[in-house]
Amino acid sequence: MVTVLEIDDVSVHFDVQDGVIRALDGVSLTVEAGETLAVVGESGCGKTTLAKVILGLQPIAGGSVILNGREVKGPGRQNAKNVGMVWQDPFASLDPRWTVAKSILEPLNLSGSKGAVLEILEEVGLDGTFAQQYPHQMSGGQRQRVAIGRALALRPPLVVCDEPTAALDLSIRAQILNLLKDLQKSAGCSYLYISHDLTTVRFLADRIAVMYLGRIVELGSAAEVFDSPRHPYTKALLDSAPSIQRLMQLPEALPGEIPDPRTVQIGCKFMGRCPYRQEVCGSKEPELTVGANAEIGSSKFRCYFPLNR
């Protein structure tokens, strides 16, 4: 397998009043050619910061990011050829003063490449009449199709999708998800799919990385994570997702509170909310280790007392 993205021990720190927030705290991930890696977790866990690091928009305090064989050291024209970006809100990500054609041509112009706007529009399910329209003249789903077309205009090996369906009506989400799958097959690209919507993650993802307070706490195939979650936080996330079995039922809240992100915590970061915590959890943070159970396979987790042992 060809590795498209390699993130090695990346940290991002933000200086704030009374301390430092470790938005990313030693994150390591890889994305292979043609696969979809989903990154999930609560708001504030570091998902969008990770996307900005990959794009070169966020300076890092340590570690390295290798994208398509080149180290990312900041924003640059070369990045446009290696990574496309689909943001959450297409109305905010598209310039309201630009026509659809100009928005799609933007990455092509930045890299000195050529491309046919009408062909790109056709790929994302829009006809040529949209080329001269402006974002306010289109629906949310149509705008997101334009944003996806722009992200894939240069055929980058990696496309980062940050909550691409969150701002859309439920009836439109399935269309956009199917479009992403179809385009992945035709373009052969990889996706880093950032979301808190586990339903869409289950539909798209090959592997899943679960983040909590800037750390990866579980990493494995989609089937492993959904069917046999090892980390208690992963289980809590899955239990909070809506399902037919839990109609009209609210999930039980986790005990405790999310720790202050400015505090350097000794031991497991999830300890204060974990119903399975023991004394050792407060002494040293567990490493991200591979499960010993052969049935679980490649699943990795950061827990002294994993579930489904």
Does some domain include residue 61?
Answer: no
Beta bridge partners, 160, equal: 85, 192
Alpha-carbon distance of 30 to 28, in angstroms, equals 7
Does some domain include residue 19?
Answer: no
Does 190 lie in the same domain as 87? Answer: yes
CA-to-CA separations, 38 to 136, 190, 205, 207, 284, in angstroms, rounded: 30, 11, 6, 6, 28
pLDDT of residue 196: 86
Does some domain include residue 70?
Answer: no
pLDDT of residue 145: 96
Does 194 lie in the same domain as 121? Answer: yes
Does 256 lie in the same domain as 161? Answer: no
Does 275 lie in the same domain as 172? Answer: no
Domain that holds residue 81: 34-56+77-205
Other beta carbons within 10 angstroms of residue 119's beta carbon come to 11
Alpha-carbon distance of 128 to 117, in angstroms, equals 8
CATH code, domain carrying 42: 3.40.50.300
pLDDT of residue 17: 86
In 17-73, DSSP assigns E strands to 19-32, 36-40, 62-67, 70-71
Does some domain include residue 83?
Answer: yes
The H or E element spanning position 22 is strand 19-32
Does some domain include residue 182?
Answer: yes
Number of structural domains found in the chain: 2
Does 222 lie in the same domain as 198? Answer: no
Does 174 lie in the same domain as 193? Answer: yes
Quote the tokens at residue 190: 């990889």
Does some domain include residue 199?
Answer: yes
Query: Residue 168, exposed/middle/buried by CB under 10 A (0-12, 13-18, 19+)?
Result: buried
Does 294 lie in the same domain as 188? Answer: no
Does some domain include residue 127?
Answer: yes
pLDDT of residue 295: 47
pLDDT of residue 249: 67
pLDDT of residue 100: 95
Quote the tokens at residue 224: 């492993």
In degrees and rounded to multiples of 5, residue 104 shows phi and psi of -65, -35
Does some domain include residue 64?
Answer: no
Does 217 lie in the same domain as 170? Answer: no
* Residue type at position 164: P
Pairing of strands 70-71, 158-162: unpaired
The vertex-305 CA angle with 215 and 283, nearest 5°, equals 65
In degrees and rounded to multiples of 5, residue 221 shows phi and psi of -65, 160
Does 276 lie in the same domain as 189? Answer: no
The H or E element spanning position 160 is strand 158-162
Of 245, 233, 301, nearest to 271 by C-alpha is 233
pLDDT of residue 174: 92
Does 263 lie in the same domain as 185? Answer: no
Does 175 lie in the same domain as 226? Answer: no
The one-digit pLDDT tens for each residue of the chain (309 residues) are: 799 999 999 999 999 888 899 999 999 999 999 999 999 998 889 999 999 999 999 999 999 999 999 999 888 777 888 999 999 888 889 999 999 999 999 988 888 888 789 999 999 999 999 999 999 999 999 999 999 999 999 999 999 999 999 878 888 999 999 999 999 999 999 999 999 889 899 999 999 999 999 999 999 999 999 999 999 999 999 988 766 666 666 667 777 778 888 888 889 999 989 989 999 999 999 998 886 554 445 689 999 999 876
Does 286 lie in the same domain as 139? Answer: no
